Amino acid sequence: MNLLVTGAAGFVGSAYVRGLLVHDPEVRVTVLDQLTYAGNPANLPTAHPRLEFVHGDICDAVLVDKLTAGADQVVHFAAESHVDRSIEGAGAFVRTNVLGTQTLLDAALRHGVGPFVHVSTDEVYGSIETGASTEDHPLRPSSPYAASKASSDLIALSYHRTHGLDVRVTRCSNNYGPYQFPEKVIPLFVTNLLDGEQVPLYGDGRNVREWLHVEDHCEGVDLVRTGGRPGEVYNLGGGTQLSNRELTGLLLDACEADWGRVRHVEDRKGHDLRYRVDWTKARTELGYRPCRDFTAGLAGTVAWYRDHRDWWEPLKRRARTP
């Protein structure tokens, strides 16, 4: 079985491919990744005999057509993914997340490729003060990032309703784990603390996120690929709910630092207060059940960054070079 996986030089996609190559001896994987600032081929076992890496853009219709023609299925992770960057400028988000997704869908349709798993986020539902968003909750994205993902979800689902393409959408909560680019809150805070620097906490720190280990997310994506239904959306949640302030406290403890290292900064524009997804559908239909313990998972993640300075130091240096 030939699987085309987009964006797998990034955080979540690389975890998915690393796991799949270990657990499924039948699968051959082609990764298509543009290697933006967030993509790093060192995240992948590029010499693996069942892995081919192609450096390219999901908006390149000719390249996408060629790769899709040789694929049986697609798992689509490629995206611009950082909310703060989308607030600075939304163009790359609309281009990659919306146009890139449509380019892939067109190619999948031409070549009869499916399932096409479109990996999305809980942020499409917007902030929910109490309870949890089910899959039919209205889409009320706040940031340009979330809006571009919601747009791509709708385009993807339209290819199922209009053309019958086997599209399946996943919407997951915040992930943590190794190989995450050190601009996102957990690797940013951990690497700053390991370097003796301060960490920037937005506003009063009361915004709540649900944290799921990246490997639990990847297992959920694969359950959707192998057992999900065409045209359906599956929420993937079940992580640990924490305010940013609580998360900061845990990271300070893990890095043996105190609150003197925290710098309070102006809140993010349009900062959603809370996300929470209802994942009953994935649990009852697919047997999805996250199994990584948060305390152990967070400790393992902090240890990974402590032991892999060679991975993140060049990325932070490059990010600081004007």
57, 80, 122, 166: which is the annotated catalytic residue? 122
Tell me the closest approach of the beta carbon of residue 245 to ligand NAD, in angstroms: 19
What end-to-end distance do the CA atoms of the chain give, in Å?
Answer: 44
Tell me the closest approach of the beta carbon of residue 221 to ligand NAD, in angstroms: 9
Tell me the closest approach of the beta carbon of residue 257 to ligand NAD, in angstroms: 24
* 3-class state of residue 226 by DSSP: helix
Residue 137 or 149: the one with the smaller Cβ distance to ligand NAD is: 149
Q: Which residue is nearest to ligand NAD (CB)?
A: 10
| Of positions 3, 4, 11, 190, contacts ligand NAD by CB under 6 A | 11
Q: In what helix (H) or strand (E) does residue 317 lie, and over which residues does it extend?
A: helix 309-320
Tell me the closest approach of the beta carbon of residue 114 to ligand NAD, in angstroms: 19
Report the candidate in 158, 211, 164 with the shortest Cα–Cα distance to residue 185.
211
> Which region, judged by CB under 6 A, interacts with ligand NAD, from 5-13, 136-144, 189-197, 277-285?
5-13
| Of positions 4, 5, 12, 193, contacts ligand NAD by CB under 6 A | 12
**Type of residue at 99:** L
Q: Does 165 bind ligand NAD (CB under 6 A)?
A: no
For 167-182, b where at least 16 C-beta lie within 10 A, e where not — what string? bbbbbbbbbbbbbbbb
Q: Is 195 a catalytic residue?
A: no
Tell me the closest approach of the beta carbon of residue 299 to ligand NAD, in angstroms: 19
Are the beta carbons of 209 and 246 closer than 8 angstroms?
no
Q: Does 193 bind ligand NAD (CB under 6 A)?
A: no
Say how far apart CA 322 and CA 313 lie, in whole Å. 16
Say how far apart CA 322 and CA 319 lie, in whole Å. 8
Instruction: List 30's β-bridge partners, or say none.
Output: 4, 52
> Which region, judged by CB under 6 A, interacts with ligand NAD, from 9-17, 61-69, 263-271, 281-289?
9-17
| Of positions 3, 4, 5, 13, contacts ligand NAD by CB under 6 A | 13
Cβ of 2: how many Cβ atoms within 10 Å?
Answer: 15
Q: Is 176 a catalytic residue?
A: no
List binders of ligand NAD among 89-148 (CB under 6 A).
96, 100, 119, 121
Tell me the closest approach of the beta carbon of residue 26 to ligand NAD, in angstroms: 24
Cβ of 207: how many Cβ atoms within 10 Å?
Answer: 20
Q: Is 123 a catalytic residue?
A: yes
Query: What is the contact mask toward ligand NAD in residues 56 to 85, using x (rule: CB under 6 A)?
Result: -xxx-----------------xxxxx----
Q: What interhelical angle do 101-111 and 144-163 show, nearest 10?
A: 20
Instruction: List 120's β-bridge partners, or say none.
Output: 171
Query: What is the contact mask toward ligand NAD in residues 22 to 51, using x (rule: CB under 6 A)?
Result: ----------xxxxx-xx------------
Say how far apart CA 180 and CA 8 lie, in whole Å. 12
Sequence-ordered alpha helix ranges (H) in 39-194: 61-69, 83-88, 91-93, 101-111, 144-163, 185-194
Say how far apart CA 194 and CA 192 lie, in whole Å. 5
Q: Does 149 bind ligand NAD (CB under 6 A)?
A: yes
Say how far apart CA 219 and CA 229 lie, in whole Å. 16
The count of residues interacting with ligand NAD (CB under 6 A) is 31
Catalytically active residues are 122-123, 145
Interface ranges with ligand NAD (CB under 6 A): 6-7, 9-13, 32-36, 38-39, 57-59, 77-81, 96, 100, 119, 121, 149, 172, 174-175, 181
